[in-house]
Amino acid sequence: MIVAGLQLDIAWEEPAENFRRTEELALQAVDSGAKLLVVPEMFATGFSMRAEAMAAHAPAIRAFLSETATRHDVWIVGGYAEPGDRRPANACSLVAPDGSERLHYRKIHPFTLANEPEHYEAGEILQTAEVEEVRVTPVICYDLRFPELFRATAAATDLFVVPANWPERRSHAWRTLLAARAIDDQAWVLGVNRVGEAEGHVHRGDTSLLDPMGDVVSTLAGEPGVVLGEVDATIVRETRERLPFLDDRRPEIYRRFEE
């Protein structure tokens, strides 16, 4: 399956303009044969802490994702703020070519340095869905720093997708952690970041697809564009059979250290 990360320069809190920019990149990706499109975290609004105001856009954003998937006959992962039980949530949906939502995820680790927990409530459920015979698990941005989250579903995952708004000043950490998660879990990883400036923070993108050995297949920095690559679940299985590192884990021992 060909996958595409759509690296956007997100217009701050302007969904209509971001829909237009997303559609431009989606057309490029589809013309290149992509069957799964992934956009950055909160792609339609930017990573705004005006949570209630951003959550009001959720119906329009979900409708756009559904219409885009149907129009182009593709799968798409897109994130947005949505109403929650106590506060809004930073969420994403996996939408199928028929326009239906096949997976829904809420960011488990809100970003404390940006005071995100004060505005968005944390999720508690990690989900995986099959896309064109590839098992896909989405997480969001800051989740990348928590290897436990990835390891919890590694056995059931061929491809982790990581929509993000990750600033340039920590770009080394972004690139390193993407590679670490691929190596740790012997899985494909597609990290999709934004470019441009928002609220004084510069983003360089570094949207990247990495293979189960942690090698970069495709990447882009510094400008909007599309990162393309072919993901094959067979390579995950063959890598894990040839190098059965995951079989040597001793979770019963690790649990003792947490007591």
CA separation, residue 192 to residues 7, 161, 162 (Å): 6, 8, 6
> Which candidate in 107, 116, 121, 168 is catalytic?
107
> Which candidate in 35, 82, 141, 168 is catalytic?
141
Give the residue among 88, 87, 76, 3 at the shortest CA–CA distance from 45: 88
Alpha-carbon gap, residue 250 to 254, rounded angstroms = 7
> Which candidate in 41, 82, 121, 168 is catalytic?
41
The secondary structure of residue 239, as a DSSP letter, is H
107 included as an active-site residue: yes
| End-to-end Cα distance, the chain | 43
Record the tokens describing residue 149, joined without a space: 């989250």
Q: Chain-centre distance of CA 77, in angstroms?
A: 7
92 included as an active-site residue: no
Decide: helix, strand or coil at residue 60: helix
Q: Which residues participate in catalysis according to the annotation?
A: 41, 107, 141
